[in-house]
Amino acid sequence: MIAVDTNILVYTHREDSVFHSEADRQLTELSESGSPWAIPWPCLHEFLAIVTHPKIYSSPTPLKDALIQVDCWIECPSLHVIGEFEGYWDHLKEQLTATKMVGPQIHDARVVAICLQNNVKTLWSADRDFNRAKGLTVFNPLIK
């Protein structure tokens, strides 16, 4: 199963992103493929925080529109929204120990641990910090 990171969601949503067209095309293809795919809950939270933030965008996405976007993704029948469950701490601890991720990278390790706990094999992300992840293939669908 493929999981999608925050930056791909943001690029897909924000038409002012230079990566919008390619991200939108790739995510549409993934969601219409019929194959199961996933978005970790922390990535949805981060998506909402980024697109509605007035210090990140001079014209941030209104909260109502951002919530509608999340609803659209959640309504996709092949999407699994994934999060932590029993045993998560062991996955996170293992990831942190193996990668030495600290500070803001703890969020990335959390996403990786959630993916691994939910049997995700590949994470789509444009964030190079994920390249340190152990046990998960990271793929940037925006690079041709």
Q: Please state at what angle helix 88-99 crosses helix 105-117, rounded to 10 degrees.
A: 130
pTM, two decimals, is: 0.93
Residue 144 lies in a domain: no
Residue 129's pLDDT is 82
Residues whose CB is less than 8 angstroms from the CB of residue 83 and which lie 6 or more positions away in sequence, other chains included: 40, 41, 42, 114
Res 131: pLDDT: 84
- Other Cβ atoms less than 10 A from the Cβ of 88: the count is 16
Let me know if residue 32 belongs to a domain. yes
What's the number of domains the chain is made of?
1
Domain that holds residue 38: 2-139
The pLDDT tens digits for 13-52 are 999 999 999 999 999 999 999 999 999 999 999 999 999 9
Q: What is the per-residue pLDDT across 43-79, written as a single tens digit (0 to 9) for each?
A: 999 999 999 999 999 999 999 999 999 999 999 999 9
**Span 1-12, pLDDT tens digits:** 999 999 999 999
Averaging pLDDT over each range in 1-5, 97-101, 128-132, which range is the top one? 1-5
Closest to 8 in 3D by CA, of 57, 60, 69: 69
CATH number at 12 reads 3.40.50.1010
Residue whose token pair is 């951002």: 66
Q: What is the mean pLDDT of residues 92-109?
A: 90
